[in-house]
Structure 1
Protein backbone atom coordinates (compact mmCIF):
# COMPACT_ATOMS: atom_id res chain seq x y z
CA UNK A 1 0.00 0.00 0.00
CA UNK A 2 1.41 3.38 -1.02
CA UNK A 3 1.66 6.14 1.52
CA UNK A 4 1.53 9.86 0.88
CA UNK A 5 3.91 12.10 2.73
CA UNK A 6 3.04 15.73 2.95
CA UNK A 7 5.85 18.00 1.85
CA UNK A 8 6.35 21.65 2.57
CA UNK A 9 3.48 24.11 2.33
CA UNK A 10 3.21 26.10 -0.84
CA UNK A 11 5.02 29.42 -0.79
CA UNK A 12 3.05 32.65 -1.05
CA UNK A 13 4.40 33.12 -4.58
CA UNK A 14 3.22 29.64 -5.61
CA UNK A 15 -0.22 30.29 -4.12
CA UNK A 16 -0.46 33.61 -6.01
CA UNK A 17 0.55 31.93 -9.25
CA UNK A 18 -2.15 29.26 -8.77
CA UNK A 19 -4.72 32.00 -8.10
CA UNK A 20 -3.66 33.84 -11.27
CA UNK A 21 -4.17 30.66 -13.31
CA UNK A 22 -7.60 30.06 -11.70
CA UNK A 23 -8.66 33.70 -12.28
CA UNK A 24 -7.52 33.57 -15.90
CA UNK A 25 -9.47 30.33 -16.47
CA UNK A 26 -12.60 31.89 -14.94
CA UNK A 27 -12.18 34.99 -17.13
CA UNK A 28 -11.74 32.90 -20.29
CA UNK A 29 -14.81 30.84 -19.37
CA UNK A 30 -16.84 34.03 -18.92
CA UNK A 31 -15.65 35.42 -22.28
CA UNK A 32 -16.52 32.13 -24.02
CA UNK A 33 -20.01 32.10 -22.47
CA UNK A 34 -20.60 35.65 -23.76
CA UNK A 35 -19.41 34.63 -27.24
CA UNK A 36 -21.75 31.63 -27.28
CA UNK A 37 -24.60 33.85 -26.12
CA UNK A 38 -23.97 36.22 -29.03
CA UNK A 39 -23.90 33.29 -31.48
CA UNK A 40 -27.21 31.95 -30.13
CA UNK A 41 -28.78 35.41 -30.40
CA UNK A 42 -27.50 35.82 -33.98
CA UNK A 43 -28.88 32.40 -34.92
CA UNK A 44 -32.27 33.13 -33.34
CA UNK A 45 -32.49 36.45 -35.22
CA UNK A 46 -31.56 34.74 -38.49
CA UNK A 47 -34.30 32.13 -38.01
CA UNK A 48 -36.84 34.77 -37.04
CA UNK A 49 -36.03 36.92 -40.07
CA UNK A 50 -36.06 34.10 -42.65
CA UNK A 51 -38.82 35.03 -45.10
CA UNK A 52 -38.69 32.49 -47.95
CA UNK A 53 -40.43 29.14 -48.30
CA UNK A 54 -37.29 27.14 -49.15
CA UNK A 55 -38.69 25.69 -52.37
CA UNK A 56 -39.57 28.42 -54.89
CA UNK A 57 -37.86 31.12 -52.82
CA UNK A 58 -34.58 31.37 -50.92
CA UNK A 59 -35.35 30.32 -47.35
CA UNK A 60 -33.47 33.32 -45.93
CA UNK A 61 -33.91 36.34 -48.20
CA UNK A 62 -37.04 35.28 -50.10
CA UNK A 63 -35.56 35.79 -53.60
CA UNK A 64 -37.66 34.00 -56.21
CA UNK A 65 -36.03 31.20 -58.18
CA UNK A 66 -36.67 30.89 -61.89
CA UNK A 67 -35.31 31.63 -65.34
CA UNK A 68 -34.70 35.30 -64.62
CA UNK A 69 -34.06 34.90 -60.90
CA UNK A 70 -31.43 33.21 -58.82
CA UNK A 71 -30.68 29.51 -59.12
CA UNK A 72 -31.54 27.39 -56.10
CA UNK A 73 -28.89 25.41 -54.29
CA UNK A 74 -30.02 23.03 -51.58
CA UNK A 75 -28.57 23.01 -48.08
CA UNK A 76 -26.91 19.66 -47.30
CA UNK A 77 -28.32 19.75 -43.74
CA UNK A 78 -31.90 21.08 -43.89
CA UNK A 79 -32.46 20.43 -47.65
CA UNK A 80 -34.02 23.89 -48.11
CA UNK A 81 -33.29 25.96 -51.21
CA UNK A 82 -31.02 28.97 -50.80
CA UNK A 83 -29.53 31.49 -53.19
CA UNK A 84 -25.78 31.86 -53.59
CA UNK A 85 -25.57 34.91 -51.31
CA UNK A 86 -27.37 33.15 -48.45
CA UNK A 87 -25.35 29.95 -48.60
CA UNK A 88 -21.94 28.91 -47.35
CA UNK A 89 -19.59 26.72 -49.36
CA UNK A 90 -17.53 24.70 -46.88
CA UNK A 91 -16.14 21.22 -46.17
CA UNK A 92 -17.09 18.46 -43.74
CA UNK A 93 -14.64 16.66 -41.43
CA UNK A 94 -13.70 14.31 -44.30
CA UNK A 95 -12.75 17.29 -46.52
CA UNK A 96 -15.78 16.71 -48.77
CA UNK A 97 -17.48 19.88 -50.09
CA UNK A 98 -20.69 20.99 -48.38
CA UNK A 99 -23.26 23.64 -49.23
CA UNK A 100 -25.09 24.99 -46.18
CA UNK A 101 -27.61 27.74 -45.64
CA UNK A 102 -26.34 30.35 -43.18
CA UNK A 103 -28.70 29.04 -40.49
CA UNK A 104 -27.23 25.53 -40.65
CA UNK A 105 -23.68 26.89 -40.90
CA UNK A 106 -24.20 28.98 -37.74
CA UNK A 107 -25.81 26.00 -35.99
CA UNK A 108 -22.76 23.89 -36.79
CA UNK A 109 -20.48 26.60 -35.48
CA UNK A 110 -22.36 26.58 -32.18
CA UNK A 111 -21.79 22.85 -31.75
Structure 2
Protein backbone atom coordinates (compact mmCIF):
# COMPACT_ATOMS: atom_id res chain seq x y z
CA UNK A 1 0.00 0.00 0.00
CA UNK A 2 1.47 3.35 -1.09
CA UNK A 3 0.70 6.14 1.39
CA UNK A 4 2.14 8.98 -0.69
CA UNK A 5 -0.20 11.72 -1.90
CA UNK A 6 -0.49 11.88 -5.69
CA UNK A 7 1.28 14.89 -7.16
CA UNK A 8 -1.94 16.31 -8.66
CA UNK A 9 -3.60 16.44 -5.20
CA UNK A 10 -1.12 18.92 -3.71
CA UNK A 11 -2.48 22.46 -3.27
CA UNK A 12 -1.51 25.09 -5.81
CA UNK A 13 0.60 27.87 -4.29
CA UNK A 14 1.05 31.19 -6.06
CA UNK A 15 4.26 32.93 -5.08
CA UNK A 16 4.76 36.67 -5.53
CA UNK A 17 6.73 37.75 -8.56
CA UNK A 18 10.48 37.77 -8.01
CA UNK A 19 11.91 41.16 -7.19
CA UNK A 20 15.59 41.71 -7.89
CA UNK A 21 17.69 42.69 -4.87
CA UNK A 22 19.53 46.02 -4.94
CA UNK A 23 22.67 46.15 -7.06
CA UNK A 24 25.78 44.90 -5.28
CA UNK A 25 28.23 47.61 -4.28
CA UNK A 26 31.87 46.62 -3.66
CA UNK A 27 32.84 47.09 0.02
CA UNK A 28 35.52 49.70 -0.72
CA UNK A 29 32.89 51.90 -2.48
CA UNK A 30 30.11 51.63 0.13
CA UNK A 31 31.16 54.31 2.61
CA UNK A 32 30.35 57.25 0.36
CA UNK A 33 27.98 55.60 -2.13
CA UNK A 34 24.53 57.33 -2.19
CA UNK A 35 22.64 54.04 -2.77
CA UNK A 36 24.20 52.14 0.14
CA UNK A 37 22.46 52.07 3.50
CA UNK A 38 24.42 50.45 6.31
CA UNK A 39 21.69 51.10 8.90
CA UNK A 40 20.25 47.60 9.20
CA UNK A 41 18.45 48.42 12.46
CA UNK A 42 15.58 49.79 10.34
CA UNK A 43 14.67 46.14 9.61
CA UNK A 44 14.55 45.00 13.26
CA UNK A 45 11.12 44.39 14.84
CA UNK A 46 9.76 47.27 16.91
CA UNK A 47 6.67 47.88 19.03
CA UNK A 48 4.17 50.63 18.30
CA UNK A 49 1.38 51.56 20.71
CA UNK A 50 -1.61 53.33 19.26
CA UNK A 51 -4.90 54.58 20.67
CA UNK A 52 -7.29 55.10 17.82
CA UNK A 53 -10.85 55.98 16.96
CA UNK A 54 -12.75 53.24 15.09
CA UNK A 55 -11.90 52.97 11.40
CA UNK A 56 -8.63 54.94 11.53
CA UNK A 57 -6.15 54.23 8.71
CA UNK A 58 -2.42 54.67 8.25
CA UNK A 59 -2.12 57.86 6.24
CA UNK A 60 0.55 60.57 6.29
CA UNK A 61 0.35 62.72 9.41
CA UNK A 62 -2.22 60.39 11.01
CA UNK A 63 -2.02 59.08 14.58
CA UNK A 64 -0.70 55.75 13.28
CA UNK A 65 1.97 57.51 11.23
CA UNK A 66 3.01 59.70 14.16
CA UNK A 67 3.22 56.60 16.39
CA UNK A 68 5.83 55.18 13.99
CA UNK A 69 3.87 52.99 11.58
CA UNK A 70 4.99 53.40 7.99
CA UNK A 71 4.25 52.03 4.53
CA UNK A 72 6.18 48.82 4.00
CA UNK A 73 5.80 47.67 7.62
CA UNK A 74 4.96 44.02 8.09
CA UNK A 75 2.67 43.39 11.06
CA UNK A 76 4.06 40.53 13.16
CA UNK A 77 1.61 40.67 16.10
CA UNK A 78 -1.21 42.82 17.44
CA UNK A 79 -2.13 42.80 21.13
CA UNK A 80 -0.10 39.59 21.56
CA UNK A 81 -1.94 37.82 18.71
CA UNK A 82 0.43 36.40 16.07
CA UNK A 83 -0.41 38.01 12.72
CA UNK A 84 2.04 36.05 10.58
CA UNK A 85 -0.40 33.23 9.83
CA UNK A 86 -3.83 34.64 10.60
CA UNK A 87 -7.00 34.68 8.52
CA UNK A 88 -7.61 38.06 6.95
CA UNK A 89 -11.10 38.40 8.46
CA UNK A 90 -9.76 37.72 11.97
CA UNK A 91 -7.00 40.31 11.52
CA UNK A 92 -9.49 42.91 10.32
CA UNK A 93 -11.78 42.19 13.28
CA UNK A 94 -8.95 42.68 15.79
CA UNK A 95 -7.75 45.89 14.16
CA UNK A 96 -11.23 47.39 13.84
CA UNK A 97 -12.52 46.61 17.31
CA UNK A 98 -9.47 47.36 19.47
CA UNK A 99 -9.31 50.90 20.87
CA UNK A 100 -5.71 50.50 22.05
CA UNK A 101 -3.33 48.56 19.88
CA UNK A 102 0.14 47.31 20.63
CA UNK A 103 1.69 46.27 17.32
CA UNK A 104 4.91 44.37 16.77
CA UNK A 105 6.07 45.35 13.27
CA UNK A 106 9.16 45.30 11.13
CA UNK A 107 10.03 47.28 8.04
CA UNK A 108 9.93 44.85 5.12
CA UNK A 109 9.59 46.86 1.90
CA UNK A 110 10.53 44.07 -0.51
CA UNK A 111 7.73 43.47 -2.99
CA UNK A 112 5.52 45.88 -0.98
CA UNK A 113 4.72 48.26 -3.84
CA UNK A 114 3.91 45.41 -6.22
CA UNK A 115 1.55 43.87 -3.65
CA UNK A 116 -0.03 47.29 -3.02
CA UNK A 117 -0.74 47.70 -6.75
CA UNK A 118 -2.57 44.36 -6.74
CA UNK A 119 -4.74 45.07 -3.70
CA UNK A 120 -5.48 48.82 -3.73
CA UNK A 121 -8.21 49.78 -6.19
Q: Same fold (TM over 0.5)?
A: no
Q: Between Structure 1 and Structure 2, whose CA radius of gyration is higher?
A: 1
TM-score, normalised by the number of residues in structure 2 = 0.23
More helix by share: 1
More strand by share: 2
**Larger relative CO (CA 8 A, sep 6+): 1 or 2?**
2
